[in-house]
Amino acid sequence: MLANFAQQKRSAEAVIAQNQAALANASAQGEKAVADLRRVEELAADGSLSARERDQTPALRAQSGAGSAAAVAALEISRTNLQSVTVGRGTLEASVAAAAAAVQLAEIDLSNTRVVAPRDGQLGQVTVRQGAYVNAGTLVTSVVPSQLWVIANYKETQMAQIGLGQPVKITVDALDNARITGHVERISPATGSEFSVLTADNASGNYVKIAQRIPVRISLDPNQPLVQRLRPGMSVVTSVDTAAPKRAVQP
């Protein structure tokens, strides 16, 4: 569209130049007609010119004047057309911008059709099927990250000597009680019951003290081939070396 605008502008400028030349020619013809009329009047005054020729010259003068007026009007029209073409450029630029925005929106819509996992890992259960519609917030699949860890739920009476950084021995039931090693990485800020859907309420007269469980996150030491065989949900038995030094600050 903008290329067509440039062509229209050049065409309008060419028409203006053509009408300017026509106006110059009409002006020259008008000056010639005025000079001819002056000479005819002088010749008619001393009888050297016939009455027919004398009457014909003013008509030619009037015709030349009309031609000059027509050339002026044509030049003004061509200038107006050029102005209209120039004003139309803003409309064309707006149309181009709207088309570019439509293309960008289409690209965004196309990119939204590709679902990307937030991190590397293995896909778990896929809950959608081909052809199904997926809205924002719909659970599509579960991603098991490449970084694995163990959650050990210790009794609150066992937490006195457990600290960050202590080594842990882990026995995996599914691997024929094979052993792997790790370290205490984090300790939950609250008991497991505090994060449950229905928390226990012991505010009654018949109070029975129940030892609460505190989740402890254990990171697995690197360069252990058996770690690759671990899967979420497996049962393990952990043993923390409480004699080892503790790290002061939890990451």
One domain, residues 139 and 106: no
**Residue 65 in domain:** yes
**Confidence bin at 181 (pLDDT 50/70/90):** very high
Residues 103 and 139 in one domain: no
> Is residue 193 one of the residues assigned to a domain?
yes
Q: Is residue 245 part of a domain?
A: no
Evaluate whether residue 251 is within a structural domain.
Answer: no
Residues 42 and 63 in one domain: yes
pLDDT at 54 over 70: no
| Residue 47 sits in the same domain as residue 68 | yes
Token couple for 148: 């694995």
CATH assignment of the domain containing 221: 2.40.30.170
On whether both 212 and 226 belong to a single domain, the answer is yes
Q: What do you get for the CA distance between the two ends of the chain, in Å?
A: 60
Is residue 85 located within the same domain as residue 186?
no
The string of pLDDT tens digits covering residues 71-84 is: 676 777 777 776 66
How many domains does the chain contain in total? 3
d(CA 19, CA 13): 10
Inside any domain, residue 246: no
Q: Which of 156-160, 194-198, 217-221 has the lowest mean pLDDT?
A: 194-198
Question: Are residues 74 and 41 part of one domain?
Answer: yes
Q: Is-contact 200 219, C-beta < 8 A? A: no
* 28 and 53, same domain (yes or no): yes
- Residue type for position 174: A
Maximum mean pLDDT: which of 30-34, 59-63, 75-79, 132-136: 132-136
Judgement on whether residues 15 and 106 belong to the same structural domain of the protein:
yes
Residues 35 and 54 in one domain: yes
User: Does residue 57 lie within any of the structural domains?
Assistant: yes
Q: Are residues 9 and 61 in the same domain?
A: yes
In a domain, 250, yes or no: no
**Residue 198's pLDDT is what?**
60
Same domain, yes or no: 128 and 193:
no
Which residue range is the domain that position 121 belongs to? 116-145
pLDDT at 46: 57
Encode the chain in three state secondary structure.
CHHHHHHHHHHHHHHHHHHHHHHHHHHHHHHHHHHHHHHHHHHHHCCCCCHHHHHHHHHHHHHHHHHHHHHHHHHHHHHHHHHHHHHHHHHHHHHHHHHHHHHHHHHHHHHHCCCCCCCCEEEEEECCCCCCCCCCCCCCEEEEECCCEEEEEEEHHHCCCCCECCEEEEEEHHHCCEEEEEEEEEECCCCHHHHCCCCCCCCCCCCCCCCCEEEEEEEECCCCHHHHHCCCCCCEEEEECCCCCCECCCC
Which of residues 167 and 38 earns the better pLDDT score?
167
Mean pLDDT, residues 23-27 taken together: 67
| pLDDT tens-digit map of 83-104 | 666 666 667 677 778 888 899 9
